[in-house]
Amino acid sequence: MSIPWLGYVYFVISLVPLSVGLVGYRSLARPMKVLTLLCVLSVVSAVAAFILGRLAINNRFIANNYVPVEVLLITAIYFLSTGIGKHRRILVGLATVFTVVWTIDKMLFDIPEQTNSSMALLSRLLLLAMSVYTIVIASQDTDSRLSTKSVFWVASGVIVYSTGTFIVSGLGNRLMQLDLSYFVIAWHINWLLLITTNLLYTKALLCKSQT
């Protein structure tokens, strides 16, 4: 199946925050350097999945293994964006629990040929909760407006993506079983959300206040 034009638009847009991050990398605050790394890995994984797909090689393992990497890097962004020990411990605790659960699931229940919908769904729920929590933390700092803080735009991007991609992440295998057209529609929604998220990441990288 050929990739619809929206898939290519998403890939082009994903290069925007990557380019902004790499060009200004030396002057970025630590959280935004981690965001740049996340953007690099996201593009690399997308390219690798595309190439394997064209070669008719199962590429599900890329998305499955990218899940914990994304969770840990986003946790690192939120961790570095707050200097309050209590909040940091909560973030680390949540990420640690997820990593343990993911590792157990990988060892006992993983099927490389299929998308791991349960872990994808769990990661989205976790990132959604962590993002809302991070925005609440950031809003308590009255020294500057929330909209000027890069972590707000990062968390907003994660929320946009997490709340919508349950369709693909959580129901991908089921949609494939029902009808291919449903899966294609779900992916169009997914790409639109990813485009929005990448634009929000770009805004985060361009903020003067990056902590």
Whether the Cβ atoms of residue 29 and residue 211 lie closer than 8 Å to each other: yes
| Residue 130: φ, ψ to 5° | -65, -35
CA distance 34 to 54: 30
Q: What percent of the chain has pLDDT over 90?
A: 62
CA distance 21 to 33: 7
Write down the pLDDT at residue 111.
84
118, exposed or middle or buried, with CB in 10 Å at 0-12, 13-18, 19+? middle
131, exposed or middle or buried, with CB in 10 Å at 0-12, 13-18, 19+? buried
The model scores a pTM over 0.85: yes
**pLDDT tens string 17-71:** 999 999 999 999 999 999 999 999 999 999 999 899 889 898 889 989 999 999 9
**pLDDT tens string 170-190:** 565 565 566 666 667 777 788
Domain residue ranges of the chain, discontinuous segments joined by +: 5-206
Domain 5-206 adopts which CATH fold?
Rhopdopsin 7-helix transmembrane proteins (1.20.1070)
Whether the Cβ atoms of residue 138 and residue 149 lie closer than 8 Å to each other: yes
Write down the pLDDT at residue 196.
95
Q: Nearest 10 degrees: CA dihedral of 120, 43, 198, 164?
A: -20
205, exposed or middle or buried, with CB in 10 Å at 0-12, 13-18, 19+? buried
**pLDDT tens string 83-107:** 889 999 999 999 999 999 999 999 9
Q: Which amino acid is at 114?
A: Q
